[in-house]
Amino acid sequence: MINNTNNSGSILLVEDEENLHEALKLNLEMEGYSVTSSFDGNKALQAVEQEYFDLIIMDIMLPELDGISVTERIRILNIDTPVLILSAKNATSDKVAGLKKGADDYLTKPFDLEELMLRVEKLILKNRKLQVRENISDEYTFGDNHILFNAQEATTWNKQKIDLSKKETMLLKLLIENKNEVVTREKILQVVWGYNVYPATRTIDNFILNFRKYFERDSRSPQYFHSVRGVGYKFTE
């Protein structure tokens, strides 16, 4: 069996067959993963909306809401967590339907446990690589603004020098690494604040407002820092 000690992550396991669920949960936890259990489609969707996961393992035949529908709704919400479907349906048309609705991988039952663990590891590693779009150096300049990440300092367009908090620096770096792309609120809270269960907070909004005060010539008509209603935030250059 694969040793994932250095690659552990959080997994949402959505499977209504209790014996199989418990067996999978036990084996995943033995490999170092943190596992959250869900036994029906609606509960799975609620969990995904409230927590960050590195991977979702999804059965198709579920009470309340089937796994394909859950996967489709997750993608509509712009949540890009990888989804590995487990299903007794092995027809090519079923696999194609699952992948078209947003699944990243499809494994038919019965399956080999070691193969499952390998696919889990590969999907989590791939997801983590995709989260960092662009590696940026210690210094970054946009417009007439200049940031020193390691020193947690910035010089603004009007030559004002400011000290940045650690969280401000981390959020700036995350947004700039993903420039011109929307970064979801969930991803920001996980990466910058380390929240696993997200509180109701305007924390990120307040940070974005501060960035506009620092770096925008007209904070009411921002050029760089944008809020995308209901989705997340974007740095545009």
Any idea what the Cα angle at residue 127 is, between residues 125 and 133, rounded to 5°?
Answer: 115
Q: What is the mean pLDDT of the chain?
A: 88
pLDDT at 230: 80
Confidence of residue 191 (pLDDT cuts 50, 70, 90): confident
Residue 199 scores a pLDDT above 70: no
pLDDT for position 3: 38
pTM: 0.59
Q: What is the pLDDT of residue 126?
A: 83
Q: Which domains does the chain have, with CATH numbers?
A: 5-131 (3.40.50.2300), 139-235 (1.10.10.10)
pLDDT at 79 over 90: no
Cβ 96 vs Cβ 82: under 8 Å: no
Query: For tokens 């400011």, what's the residue?
Result: 162
Task: Name 194's Cβ contacts closer than 8 Å, sequence gap at least 6.
Answer: none
Q: Which whole number is the average pLDDT over 176-182?
A: 89
Residue 209 has pLDDT above 50, yes or no: yes
Whether residue 176 contacts residue 205, with contact meaning beta carbons closer than 8 Å, is answered with no
Core vs surface per residue 137-159: b (16+ CB within 10 A) or e: eeebebeebebebeebebbbeee
Residues in the chain: 237
Q: What is the pLDDT of residue 196?
A: 58
Q: Which pLDDT tens digit goes with each residue over 8-67?
A: 789 999 999 999 999 999 999 999 999 999 999 999 999 998 888 999 999 999 998 999
pLDDT score recorded for residue 134: 53
Specify the pLDDT at position 1: 37
Q: What is the pLDDT of residue 227?
A: 92
Instruction: From 77, 58, 75, 55, select the one nearest 66 (Cα to Cα).
Output: 58
Q: Cα angle vertex 66, ends 60, 70, to 5°?
A: 100
Residue with the two structure tokens 């940070």:
207
Task: Decide if 108 contacts 144 (C-beta within 8 A).
Answer: no
Q: Give percent of the chain above pLDDT 90.
A: 62
- Overall average pLDDT of the 109-114 stretch: 92
Per-residue pLDDT, 132: 56
pLDDT class of 7 with cuts at 50, 70, 90? very low
The pLDDT-based confidence of 2 (bands split at 50, 70, 90) is very low
Residue 92: predicted pLDDT: 84
